[in-house]
Amino acid sequence: MKITKTLNNLKPSDNTLDIPMKTHATLKQVADWLALERNLVIMVLAVLVLTFGNQMWVKFTPKYLEFLGASAIILGLYGSIEQFVGAIYQYPGGIITDRLGAKRALILFSFISIIGYIIYYFSYSWELFIIGTFFVLVWESMSQPAIFSLIGDVLSKSKRAMGFSVQSILKRIPIIIAPPIGGYFIQTYGLQGGMRIGFVVSIVMALLAIFVQRKYYTETGERKENPSISIIKLWQIMDKKLKKLLISDILARMASYMIKVYIVIYVINILKATPLDYGLMISIQMTTSILSYLPAAKLADKYGRKPFITLTFLFFSLFPLILVQIPSPTLLPLAFIIAGLREIGEPARKAYIVDLSEGEYKGKTIGLYYLIRELTNLSSPIIGGILWTISPKILFYTSFFIGLTGVTIFSITNKLK
């Protein structure tokens, strides 16, 4: 197979792809500009196939929970549980990555997620579905420190934003394709039938990701058994700039998490859009993100991370404001373009986190950052559920003001040393 031959030709010692000699010089420059390296390519392929499976159904999860009997408050509870699981998995994910190495860690996380997909498939109640979430989120949450550490290890500071950008772009390509496919299956086979097709696809994709990682991922260097350190001590030695970023990041995510599980409900139940319409909106959102990634990442690597991080926080606050102003489904693309622009500074933000996490505790520091960010937002979805029962508009306006506060704080602390 051509794919197999290409992967076999990737050299771990080279930051470029091994290609025919007549085009080597040109493509080497392109590969270098895009910060391509063998293990990054393998990691991105694994993320790509897993993302394709998940995105067929994940955006419709709140609607499916509603189908399984969950109330609006239960949807908020589910969002908080999702936050809690995602939070507590971050730091252990960093520890596992530091001890096992990225390859073994990512394969382990993939296997555990498959258990969750199986539970999802056989769920006949929202309670059982939530149990499956504890397994499904292992990949998404625990793998993050591994991915961050890998990019930090193989790329210099001047290329990290580009590395995150390429990874993010390729990860979002299936998000353009998969949600409309999932929406089509739901409209054709019903909500339960369509979701179950998505769960089966996720299982197949996870097995494919495991195969790719085991066969082609090459460990570089020896794994280091870093000395143990308490969370309190790790927080004390964490870079002050990283702590300042964390404050604004917490507020931006609070604005997002409050409305996250209610977006699909608002679009389908209140604006009367179809599941296929909603899937297409996700495609528009991801296309917008992809188009912004490369130029923003290159400029961030060259001129600095902070302006692009500020823009990301700004669009986090604007999305709920624009969405709640939409009178009908025909104007939904405007809101989801704004949602796509939320990603304009994500490569810069992630690169900035890695820059400020250098040292022997890199994986643990990244894990602690996300542990704190997610734990402080545990109540956000529940608060969102309470506000939703009062008025959906109050929920979205509150989200806007919280996000705006995060932008303001980051802009002010940006100027402080």
Domain span at 405: 19-216+231-414
The rounded radius of gyration (Å) of the Cα atoms in the chain is 21
**CA 327 to each of CA 272, 401, 415: distance values in angstroms, whole numbers, following the listed order:** 11, 21, 39
43 or 214, which is more confident = 214
| Run of H or E including 328 | none
**Per-residue pLDDT at 206:** 92
Assess if residue 6 is contained within a domain: no
Q: Within its chain, how far is the Cα of 360 from the centroid?
A: 25
Please, is 277 exposed, middle or buried when counting C-beta atoms within 10 Å of its C-beta (0-12, 13-18, 19+)? middle
pTM listed for this prediction: 0.70
C-alpha to C-alpha distance for 279 and 68, rounded to whole angstroms: 21
What does the pLDDT look like over 389-403, one tens digit per residue? 999 999 999 999 999
Assess if residue 278 is contained within a domain: yes
Find the CATH number of the domain harbouring 159. Answer: 1.20.1250.20
Tokens of 143: 């793998």
What does the pLDDT look like over 56-105, one tens digit per residue? 999 899 999 999 999 988 998 898 888 788 778 877 887 787 778 777 88
pLDDT grade for 2, boundaries at 50, 70 and 90: very low
Assess if residue 99 is contained within a domain: yes
Assess if residue 11 is contained within a domain: no
**CA 285 to each of CA 177, 290, 292, 417: distance values in angstroms, whole numbers, following the listed order:** 12, 9, 11, 35
Q: Within its chain, how far is the Cα of 63 from the centroid?
A: 21
| CB neighbour burial string for 238-260, b if at least 16 within 10 angstroms, e if fewer | beebbebbbebbbbbbbbbbbbb
- Three-class SS of residue 43? helix
Assess if residue 130 is contained within a domain: yes
**Single-letter amino acid code for the residue at 276:** L
Assess if residue 157 is contained within a domain: yes
Total structural domains within the chain: 1
Is 342 in contact with 312 (CB distance < 8 Å)? yes
